[in-house]
Amino acid sequence: MQEQKYIRIKDKDIPINIRNYKTSKYLKMYFKADVLYISKPKYVSMKKTFDFIKENKEYIYKKYVEINSNKDFRLKKWEEGDTFFYQGDKYIVKVNNPNENKIHINFDKDNKYLLISYPNNLSDEKRKYYVDKGIKQILKNNTEYILQNKVPYWSKITSIAYKQFKVNDATSKFGSCIPSKKLLHFSSRLIMLPDDKIDAVVVHELCHIVHPNHSKDFYSLVKTYIPDYDEKNKWLKKNGKIIMF
């Protein structure tokens, strides 16, 4: 478990994650939820990296404030009142601190609460780490369960054969496809989305087996089975940040 690092800009302590990549050719920054990520080539010094951050501090500050103004999009700390999406519904986090050594995570579907209990002696950092881990496993299990029905169903409807699908913890994309191997990958966060949006993602990736690109023919094929795909895709782009934590 790595300690979260922060950078101070004006009155904000902004979580930051700096990563080296062999294939990177230049410095790049982006936010995942409210964490600032910096990717850099290995040969670029930390001094040059922080100069880059300093040059862009106004943008970084503005973006961070914007993200934190919406509880749906900011990084989850699993505190009372945080929000979480499950099967397209918004759940409110309710926290309890029982005098025991286990973490419990439950969904109250009737009242739309995500119930989290954890030991009193856990630090904020450890609480986030262990709750993240527990929820990721729940999402992976439940996403695999629904895809066991959805992927074969849409494969039959589209007459597009696949060999295998796998579920991972991707947060940058909902799905991907290796056409030559007829292998599909899906994010474990799919279970957080409304059911019809999951269908759109599944059909999108299946159609890549036929068209391994985003050509006009590809989208035409997708819309054969999901006629309002453009609308669903717009929703996914606009609301994709809800899967971050």
Task: Pinpoint the residues of the chain covered by CATH 3.30.2010.10.
Answer: 139-243
DSSP 8-class letter at 3: P
Residue pLDDT, tens place only, 5-58: 889 999 999 989 998 988 788 899 988 778 899 999 989 999 999 999 999 999
pLDDT, residue 97, reads 76
Strand 28-32, strand 35-41: pairing: antiparallel
Residue pLDDT, tens place only, 111-146: 999 999 988 888 888 888 899 999 999 999 999 999
Residue pLDDT, tens place only, 57-70: 999 999 888 888 87
Q: Alpha carbon of 39 to those of 23, 30, 42, 135, 191: distances in Å?
A: 10, 9, 9, 27, 29
pLDDT, residue 243, reads 85
Q: Comparing 13-22, 95-104, 179-188, which segment has the lowest mean pLDDT?
A: 95-104
* pLDDT exceeds cutoff 70 at 230: yes
Name the amino acid, one letter, at 239. N
Angle of helix 216-225 versus helix 229-239 axis, rounded to 10: 100
pLDDT, residue 102, reads 86
pTM over 0.85: no
Top-level CATH class of 139-243?
alpha beta
* pLDDT exceeds cutoff 70 at 99: no
Q: Comparing 103-107, 171-175, 206-210, which segment has the lowest mean pLDDT?
A: 171-175
Over pLDDT 90: what percentage of the chain? 69
* pLDDT exceeds cutoff 70 at 153: yes
The 10 Å CB-count burial string (b at 16+, else e) for 63-73 is: bbeebeeeeeb
pLDDT, residue 172, reads 80
Q: In what order do the strands lie in the sheet with 5-9?
A: 5-9, 12-21, 35-41, 28-32
Mean pLDDT to the nearest integer, 207-218: 97
Tokens 């036929």 -> residue: 210
